[in-house]
């Protein structure tokens, strides 16, 4: 710069000084003009005459105007998959993006400068006004299209308060028509499922209950035949009568079990505080003889108090412990019961040292009448685990087994700690 030159050396002549002085004046004038321009730019930004983004940095201000970064921002708003609009404080739409206009099935120019209120369904007007009043928030509301068709959207509103200018809002809407349709279908399907389940339960109850009477009759007359004519007819007759009596008694067991299965729903009691240790003690006392006969050792960790149907919890423990004893290996049965608290639920476990279960059947065994062992070696109908599953699920938990053939099995079931709340819906 010439000013530096002036300081750095002796002026050669008066003429040279004059020239230098003129040059300095020109330079000052040009700096004044640039300063004036900068001041004008700042005023325009401050008063909103110009869209700009000002970033304050230690090295100085960085200004992005419409000509630079703002273009990218506008392109983003225009191409985003949500509808967005800005509103003046009286609800006049100042701007809307392409998607907003498409959702309302109108051209943007027909929307801008009209009132947002014409697009809000009357039943949602109070909600919408409340959203504006709180200047922030989101809700599901119905919008009205040009043809008067109602369209569900998820709307979020935020205040665009710029210092010195009147209040305005930014509105973002997401079309949730598909979501609502799916929700409705799901609700219908769930209702249908609940109805069909209730019918099935009713059917199982009525049929098993009503079948009991004629079956009792068949069974008692067959036993009478057996008592009167055993050994008096030929060998074949004895064999036939034996098969008939055996078949009738197995059928009676199946029907009783089916009835018990359907009673999980029909005879459920209100969940109440239940001490699991007393439940287990009750089970051990019910099974006292069976435990002694099989030389079974049963141990347990401290068990919690939970909210549950006391009788049904007894059924779960009883079924699992009987299985643990029944399906024993060469060794005397050893069973251990424990409970662990994990993320909002209790995980109970009943571990045995029995025959174990091939993992490929670990889900099948919870189905009604599914058995992996034959009735000659291990008596039973195959209903116990399905009853456990039904009870656990009614309490809001789930049940599974971890096992390997020959290595014993551990049955786990969860019950929510706040099981009262979860189960009320099901009881
Ligand atoms: N602790 C266990 N050890 C090995 N197998 C088991 C055990 N518990 C259940 N099972 C298998 O699962 C089947 C179904 O059990 P369950 O529904 O209680 O019926 P059931 O006891 O009448 O046979 C049993 O027949 C058996 O094959
Ligand atoms: Mg069983």
User: b/e for 146-179, b at 16 or more Cβ within 10 A?
Assistant: eeeeebbbebbbeeeeeeeeeebbebbbbbbeee
244 Cα to the center of ligand 1, angstroms: 26
Distance CA 332, CA 339 (A): 24
| Cβ atoms within 10 Å, residue 274 | 20
Ligand 1 atom 12, closest CA: 365
| Residues 245-281: tens digit of each pLDDT | 999 988 888 888 888 888 887 777 888 899 999 999 9
Beta bridge partner(s), residue 95: 86
324 Cα to the center of ligand 2, angstroms: 9
What are 233's two structure tokens?
């007819």
22: buried, middle or exposed (CB in 10 Å: 19+, 13-18, 0-12)?
exposed
Question: Residues lining ligand 2 (ion), CB within 5 A?
Answer: 323, 384
Q: What is the distance of C-alpha 365 from the center of its chain? A: 27
DSSP 271-304: -EEEEHHHHHHHHHHHTHHHHHHTT-EEEE----
| Residues 244-255: tens digit of each pLDDT | 999 998 888 888
Q: Taking the model in full, what pTM does it have?
A: 0.61
Q: Is the pLDDT of residue 421 over 50?
A: no
Distance CA 412, CA 347 (A): 7
* C-alpha to C-alpha distances, 205 to 210, 214, 266, 311, 394, nearest whole angstrom: 8, 16, 8, 19, 18
Nearest to 322 by CA among 360, 278, 287, 288: 287
Give the residue, out of 296, 318, 327, with the most ligand 1 atoms within 8 A of its beta carbon, to mutate for a pocket test: 327
| Residues 309-364: tens digit of each pLDDT | 999 999 999 999 999 999 999 999 999 999 999 988 999 999 999 999 999 999 99
Segment 384-398 mean pLDDT: 93
316 Cα to the center of ligand 2, angstroms: 10
Among 75-89, 318-332, 353-367, 396-410, which stretch is predicted with the lowest mean pLDDT?
75-89
pLDDT band at 218 (very low <50, low <70, confident <90, very high): very high
């Amino acid at each position: 710069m010439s000013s530096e030159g002036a300081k750095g050396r002796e002026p050669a002549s008066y003429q040279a000084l004059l020239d230098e002085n003129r040059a300095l004046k020109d330079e000052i004038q040009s700096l004044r003009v640039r300063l004036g321009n900068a001041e004008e730019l700042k005023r325009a930004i401050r008063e909103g005459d110009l869209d700009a983004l000002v970033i304050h940095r230690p090295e100085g201000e960085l200004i992005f105007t419409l000509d630079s970064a703002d273009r990218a921002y506008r392109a983003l708003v225009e191409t985003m998959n949500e509808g967005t609009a800005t509103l003046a404080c009286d609800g006049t739409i100042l701007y809307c993006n392409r998607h907003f206009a498409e959702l309302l099935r109108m051209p943007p120019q027909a929307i801008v400068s009209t009132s947002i209120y014409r697009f809000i369904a009357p039943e949602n007007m109070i909600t919408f006004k409340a959203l504006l009043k709180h200047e922030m928030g989101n809700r599901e509301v119905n919008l009205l299209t040009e043809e008067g068709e109602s369209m569900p959207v998820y709307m979020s509103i935020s205040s665009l308060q710029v210092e010195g200018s009147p209040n305005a809002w930014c509105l973002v809407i997401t079309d949730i028509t598909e979501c609502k349709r799916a929700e409705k279908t799901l609700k219908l399907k769930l209702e249908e499922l609940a109805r069909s389940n209730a019918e099935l339960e009713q059917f199982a109850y009525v049929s098993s209950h009503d079948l009991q009477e004629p079956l009792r009759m068949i069974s008692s007359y067959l036993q009478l035949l057996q008592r009167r004519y055993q050994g008096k007819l030929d060998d074949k007759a004895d064999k036939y009568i034996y098969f008939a009596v055996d078949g009738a008694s197995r059928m009676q067991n199946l029907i009783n079990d089916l009835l018990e299965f359907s009673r999980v729903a029909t005879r459920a009691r209100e969940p109440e505080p239940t001490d699991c240790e007393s439940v287990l003690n009750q089970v051990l006392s019910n099974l006292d003889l069976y435990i002694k006969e099989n030389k079974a050792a049963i141990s347990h960790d401290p068990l919690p108090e939970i909210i549950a149907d006391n009788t049904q919890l007894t059924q779960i423990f009883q079924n699992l412990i009987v299985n643990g004893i029944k399906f024993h290996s060469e060794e005397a049965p050893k069973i251990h019961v424990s409970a662990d608290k994990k993320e909002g639920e209790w995980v109970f476990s009943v571990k045995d040292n029995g025959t174990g279960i091939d993992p490929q059947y670990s889900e099948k065994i919870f189905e009604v009448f599914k058995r992996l062992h034959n009735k000659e070696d291990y008596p039973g109908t195959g209903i116990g685990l399905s009853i456990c599953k039904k009870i656990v699920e009614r309490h809001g938990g789930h049940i599974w087994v971890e096992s390997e053939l020959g290595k014993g099995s551990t049955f786990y079931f969860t019950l929510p700690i706040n099981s009262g709340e979860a189960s009320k819906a099901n009881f």
